[in-house]
Amino acid sequence: MKRALPVLVLSAAALVPLWRYEPSTGAASSGAGAAAPAGTPTAAASPGAASTVVAGSTVPTEKGDVQVQVTFEGGRITAVTMLRAPDHPQTADAVPKLVAETLRAQSAAIDTVSGATITSDGYKESLQAALDARGT
Amino acid sequence: MGFPVSLRVDDPDVPADAADAVFAWLRQVDRRFSPFREDSEVSRYGRGELPGGALSADLAEVLALGEEFRRATGGAFDVRLPGRGLDPCAVVKGWSVQRAAELLTGAGLRRFCLNAGGDVAVSGGPWRVGVRHPGHADRLCAVLEVSHGGVATSARYERGDHILDGRTGRPATGLDSLTVVAPTLTEADAVATAAFALGEEGVAWAAAREGCEVFAVLPGGRVLRTPGLPVAA
């Protein structure tokens, strides 16, 4: 689920060169299954519209090379697949959806506390110390 | 390493030596992997004193983890920073506490909560895990409900700016606090530290990791979290 979204985000930028890429008949529809032959029903093809799969050229970006594959049905794009993605922390996996909130201070019944490494001195005054004291 | 370790076991029958094994393992880890000990395996390896082939399986695993996260962060997370010796603490802590949790599971325990210096490994929950508020030591900023797995937080409050961005060599200051919930504490701790080193872009980076849920506090009190974060009711 998390991986689906970033492809779309990336492809928005990567598509620009694709728009300018005019597939020449035959040569552009590459590879097996590129074009659904007329009369051969496939699950993916909508009635009356043959789908064409076009691999875009590799676009160097500051994050690395990007290449997308676009499926056209008629004149419309129905699918975009990433063929090459930059090996970069920001984009390697995705740009996931995040929920924005405001920081709130709270106290509640808890079993333990997660926090950055505390030293033994810091522990004496920590919430975890209070929890441990409660358990003994 | 000098941090407190708390272990709570709720199983009805607890083997007498189960907890002892955990503490013995963590002491062993400190002896072998502390960069602050001149004679530790890590210090000797860092100085090139371990002969070829003498790398223990544990150290090889730790170094491989460090390398995995160095690559995944474009160098922001690095166990070998310029001008410093080998310091794999950021990987060793989560890894060793996860191993300790596996010792407990191996001893037949099913319901426990292990907290080592703020890194949490739980089993057989639900457990309510509070996240320390970055600005107030006695307050929480979130309460999570976790049944099985690890919770780790990287923040600036306790030891100041101690996490360095390996890309610049300077302290990472883009975040106040970042908490990761993951299937293992090995993953949670390494991802939390690496994301913290990355700064604000680390929030999305951590959130994109398979199985990771993230709660991040940005300077100024803005919070970013993943929709799947297991927030307690």
Which residue ranges make up each domain of chain B?
5-225
Q: How far apart (Å, rounded) are the C-alpha atoms in residues A75 and A73?
A: 6
Query: Does A99 contact B at CB distance below 8 Å?
Result: yes
| Strand blocks (E) in chain B | 5-9, 112-116, 119-123, 127-132, 140-146, 149-155, 164-165, 170-171, 177-182, 213-218, 222-225
- Order of strands across the sheet that contains B149-155: A99-102, B222-225, B213-218, B177-182, B149-155, B119-123, B112-116, B5-9
pLDDT tens profile A65-74:
666 666 666 6
Secondary structure class of B104 (helix, strand, coil): helix
Instruction: Fill in the amino acid letter for B164.
Output: L
**Rounded average pLDDT per 10-residue block, chain A, 136 residues:** 40 40 41 38 44 71 64 65 60 66 89 78 65 68
Q: How far apart (Å, rounded) are the C-alpha atoms in residues A123 and A128?
A: 7
Residue of chain A whose Cα is closest to the Cα of B73: A89
For residue A89, the chain B residues in CB contact (below 8 A) are 72-74, 76, 198, 201-202, 205
Give the Cβ contact number of residue A132 at 10 Å.
17
pLDDT tens profile B79-107:
887 777 788 888 999 999 999 999 999 99
User: Which of A62, A117, A119, A128 would you mutate first to test chain B, the one with the most B CBs within 10 A?
Assistant: A117
pLDDT tens profile B176-218:
999 999 999 999 999 999 999 999 999 999 999 999 999 999 9
Q: Is the pLDDT of residue B134 over 50?
A: yes
Q: What does the mean pLDDT of chain A come to?
A: 59
Q: Is residue A28 part of a domain?
A: yes
Q: Is the pLDDT of residue B231 over 70?
A: yes
DSSP classification of residue B80: B
Name the residue facing A114 among B135, B179, B232 (closest C-beta).
B179
- Cβ(A98)–Cβ(B225) under 8 Å? yes
Which fold, B5-225?
T-fold (3.10.520)
Q: Which residue has the higher pLDDT, B167 or A2?
A: B167
Q: Is the pLDDT of residue B157 over 60?
A: yes
Secondary structure class of B191 (helix, strand, coil): helix
Q: Structural domain tally of chain A?
A: 1
Q: Is residue A72 part of a domain?
A: yes
* Full-model pTM: 0.72
Q: Is residue A116 part of a domain?
A: no
Residue A84's DSSP bridge partners are A67
Query: Does A135 contact B at CB distance below 8 Å?
Result: yes
Residue A60 is part of which domain span?
Answer: 4-84
All residues at 6 or more sequence positions from B161 whose CB lies less than 8 Å from its CB, including other chains: B171, B172, B173
